[in-house]
Amino acid sequence: GAGVSQSPRYKVAKRGQDVALRCDPISGHVSLFWYQQALGQGPEFLTYFQNEAQLDKSGLPSDRFFAERPEGSVSTLKIQRTQQEDSAVYLCASSLGLTSISGQETQYFGPGTRLLVL
């Protein structure tokens, strides 16, 4: 079946520009996660949705970052007034959401969006 897809795969933005990154999770997956991977680092957690509810946004680095999942399927990560330090790969993952302990479920990742802010 279809896996997690993300678009665009690559995005070049000028500093100060707003960007929107899209994630299509696996159909039927309740849980959705966003991660940011800076160069030379491992992916870092940004935010978590259970259906349309954003249950954890503790990893969002500033109020310029905003995520939504209005109908409980597709999610969008928006970055306002991009800065050079926002350059990174943004990964989306989804999981079944059958357990209350989300850390125990396999998360299925998309290929990521590579964002470069000039």
Partner 1 sequence: ILNVEQSPQSLHVQEGDSTNFTCSFPSSNFYALHWYRWETAKSPEALFVMTLNGDEKKKGRISATLNTKEGYSYLYIKGSQPEDSATYLCAFGGGGGADGLTFGKGTHLIIQP
Binding residues (CB under 8 A) for partner 1: these are 3-4, 33, 35, 40-46, 48, 55-56, 59, 91, 101-112
What is the nearest approach in angstroms of partner 1 to the Cβ of residue 14?
Answer: 25
Measured from the CB atom, is 86 or 112 closer to partner 1?
112
Q: How far is the C-alpha of 92 from the C-alpha of 67, rounded, in Å?
A: 11
Measured from the CB atom, is 43 or 69 closer to partner 1?
43
What is the nearest approach in angstroms of partner 1 to the Cβ of residue 30?
Answer: 12
CA distances, 83 to each of 1, 2, 49, 54 (Å): 37, 33, 25, 24
40, two tokens:
């030379």
